[in-house]
Chain A
Amino acid sequence: MKVDNTVAVAREAPEPPASGDDLALVARLLRKDERTFSSLVDRHHGVMLRVAQTMVPSRAVAEEVVQETWQAVLEGLPAFEGRSSLKTWMFRILVNRARTRGVREQRSVPVGIVSDGDDAPEAIVRALWSGGQSAVRATPETALLDGELRAALETAVEALPETMRAVLTMRDLAGWTADEACDVLGVTEANQRVLLHRARVRVRAALNLYLEGKQA
Chain B
Amino acid sequence: MATCGQPSQRATDYLEGALSTAGRLAYFAHLARCGDCRAELRQLRLTVSLLGRVGPPPVSGPARADVMASFRRWQPSASTPAVHAVPLSVRLASRLDRLLGGSRGLAALAAVLLGSLGLASLIRPVPGAAEPALAGLECMGTELLAGLLPLAAVGVLAWQSRRALSANVFAVAAALGAIAGQAAIHFTCPEIGMRLHVAFHVAGVLAAVLVGAAVSGLGNALARPRAARG
Contact = CB atoms under 8 A, between A and B. Distances in A.
Interface of A: 20, 23-24, 26-27, 29-32, 34, 37-38, 41-42, 45-47, 49-50, 63, 66-67, 70-71, 74-75, 77-82, 117-119, 122, 125, 128-129, 132-133, 135-136, 139, 143-145, 149-150, 153-154, 157, 168, 172-175, 178, 189, 193-194, 196-197, 200-201, 203-204, 207
Contacts of A143: 53
A200 B193 contact: no
Contacts of A194: 9
A129 B53 contact: no
A67 B63 contact: yes
A67 B53 CA distance: 26
A119 B130 CA distance: 52
B16 A193 contact: yes
Nearest to A139: B53
A30 B127 contact: yes
B51 A168 contact: yes
Contacts, number: 166
Considering the complex of A and B, which 3 residue pairs feature the smallest CB-CB distances, nearest first? A46-B56, A197-B12, A78-B127
Interface of B: 5-7, 9, 11-13, 16, 18, 36, 39-40, 42-44, 46-60, 63-64, 66-68, 70-72, 74, 76-79, 127-132, 191-193, 195-196
Contact of B74 (A74, A172, A197, A200): A74
A50 B9 CA distance: 25
